[in-house]
Amino acid sequence: MAVLRASKQALRKELKRRLAALSAEEKQRQSLVLSRKLLKHPKYVSSQRIAVFLSMDDEVSTEEIIRDMFKRGKSCFIPRYLSNSSHMDMLEINSLQDLEKLPLTSWNIRQPSDDCNSRKEALTSGGLDLMLMPGLGFDLSGGRLGRGKGFYDTYLRRCSEHPKGKPYTIALAFKEQLCEKVPVDSTDVFIDEVLYEEQ
């Protein structure tokens, strides 16, 4: 276990270094390529209820995707993380204006406030069809290295107990985030597909 933890830490450090070396222009360029790819993806097109992360600086930007979801009338769910646990909820947002009004967290991303109980949570209101996954590193057999808090793994386990079952999961990755093999343990949930810019 300690060996696995150490190899995850070392890989996180290396990936953070690779991401820090990426220019804002390059991140924007790859984000656009991936957004266009996703918008044509059959799973995205056929999904109605979609969970999407709000991107941080070192993640593929999801701005275009969120805009498209509202244009197509899809239901958009975004994470609300509880900071002192690995608990996360996926709460519905109703429009871009709704999103822009949300408070900023210490990570500089918007999320519904803790006392916001009027929003629908994905699992209590019909489940999810598709979940877009953030992460630091990915391999092509579905291994994912997160930031170590376990939010997404815990949430996906909750999804598998839902009558609708686990949503299809797609990771959005910069080429620089692809790894030969991500170290995983029994608590790590594999993802269905990694979307990246192919040469």
Distance CA 168, CA 153 (A): 14
Q: Is 144 annotated as a binding residue?
A: yes
First to last CA, the chain: 36
Q: Is 148 annotated as a binding residue?
A: yes
Q: Is 196 annotated as a binding residue?
A: no
Q: Is 9 annotated as a binding residue?
A: yes
Q: Is 145 annotated as a binding residue?
A: yes
Q: Is 74 annotated as a binding residue?
A: no
Between β-strands 193-195 and 168-172, what pairing exists: parallel, antiparallel or unpaired? Answer: parallel
Q: Which two structure tokens, joined as six digits, stand for 75? A: 């239901």
Q: Is 22 annotated as a binding residue?
A: no
Q: Is 197 annotated as a binding residue?
A: no
Distance CA 25, CA 150 (A): 30
Identify which of 92, 87, 169 has the alpha carbon closest to the alpha carbon of residue 124: 92
Q: Is 91 annotated as a binding residue?
A: no
Identify which of 181, 142, 147, 143 has the alpha carbon closest to the alpha carbon of residue 19: 147
Q: Is 80 annotated as a binding residue?
A: no
Q: How many CA atoms lie within 13 A of 184 on its CB side?
A: 19
Distance CA 146, CA 134 (A): 7
Q: Is 15 annotated as a binding residue?
A: no
Q: Is 147 annotated as a binding residue?
A: yes
Q: Is 135 annotated as a binding residue?
A: no
Q: Is 146 annotated as a binding residue?
A: yes
Which parts are annotated binding residues for ATP? 8-12, 144-152
Tell me the binding residues for substrate: 54, 59
User: Which residues sit in the known binding site?
Assistant: 8-12, 54, 59, 144-152
